[in-house]
Structure 1
Amino acid sequence: MTAGTDGPREPLHEEQAALIVEVFRMLANVTRVQVLWALVGDELSVNELAERVGKPAPSVSQHLAKLRMARLVRTRRAGTTIFYSLENDHVRQLVKDAVHNAEHAGPGVPAHHRGEGGMRAVRS
């Protein structure tokens, strides 16, 4: 089954639907969404991510472990530092689409239509 085809769609296999639910479960957390958004254009270390999302590094590290298990982020080691990036362009597009959809839910002209680059970090 190809996700990009037009026309009637066949039902998803149970296993595939379960994997999709797991991806959405990973997106159902403010910190994880902020981490993914920070990684849309950058490869960052845990400390850099923690600074960007305003959370302690140990907390961000735990979220990154979950995101890795869900295959949404990957790692690269350089010496003693581990850098994180989005797993692939599909994840990047999913995150960008989610941000753009959220912007459309608010009042006014969405930032991505004004050329301002998308959502700003929200602290919780």
Structure 2
Amino acid sequence: MTTREPGPVASGAHERAPGREQLRTAATVFALLADPTRLHLLWLLAQGPADVTALTTASGAARTAVSQHLAKLRLAGLVHARREGRHAVYALSDGHLRRLVVEALSHADHQVTGAPWHA
């Protein structure tokens, strides 16, 4: 892995120094993203809302595992569910999380493939 010099803060980025509560909350989000199955579920939900059956099929994880991961994500406020008949349809709670998941996976692409880094 090559080292890179830190660049300027991106326009619109969180430029104010974070407080303890923001740091704790962000660390909690990263801890939830640290599980590969949860990260996969969040990536799937970044593509659009889905129910447990669709998420189970797409992720290849056991239905009980998918349900448990979704429960953790829902309790943390990262996803929400709405009822459609007998099914709960899950969606990401906000665009920040979608961008965070996509950026984390894009970063991983560079590390795995060796593609050049960009700003």
Q: Same fold (TM over 0.5)?
A: yes
- TM-score, with structure 1 as normaliser: 0.78
Partners of 1:84 and 1:5 in 2: how far apart? 28
- C-alpha deviation, 1:72, in angstroms: 1.3
- C-alpha deviation, 1:108, in angstroms: 4.7
Equivalent residue for 1:44?
50
- Partner SS, residue 83 of structure 1: strand
- C-alpha deviation, 1:10, in angstroms: 4.2
Partners of 1:101 and 1:89 in 2: how far apart? 18
- TM-score, with structure 2 as normaliser: 0.81
RMSD of the TM alignment (CA)? 1.9
Partners of 1:39 and 1:5 in 2: how far apart? 24
Query: Displaced runs of 4+ in structure 1, greater than 6 A?
Result: none
- In the TM superposition, 1:18-97 aligns within 5 A as 18-97=24-103
1:4 is aligned to 2:6: no
- C-alpha deviation, 1:4, in angstroms: 2.5
- C-alpha deviation, 1:109, in angstroms: 4.2
